[in-house]
Structure 1
Amino acid sequence: MATGKKAASDAAKILRDSKSSKKEKEVAASDLSGRRGATTAKPKTKTKSR
């Protein structure tokens, strides 16, 4: 199940907050990893050499 926009936004705020504990940041990062499409990069394509 993907993380919702609100939860992802809250998690990002926790990661940016310098007062957040290490455990809070671990949980927030875990939540963000469940955010579908949030951090996915486009796959690299191979260029054809002639």
Structure 2
Amino acid sequence: MVKKQSSSPVSTLASKILSGAKKPTASDARRLAGSVLSQDEKPGNKPKK
């Protein structure tokens, strides 16, 4: 099975935000969240109520 990976620009963005070199914008948050969610290999992972 091929593992999904973040693109280099997304990884660089995450690194800059985590190191404090860049203040995240709402757009950055959406981009990073989209990357993480696209890598989820388990369908239907919703929190149980």
TM-score band w.r.t. shorter chain: 0.3 to 0.5
**TM-score between the two structures when normalised by the length of structure 1:** 0.43
Radius of gyration: which is bigger?
1
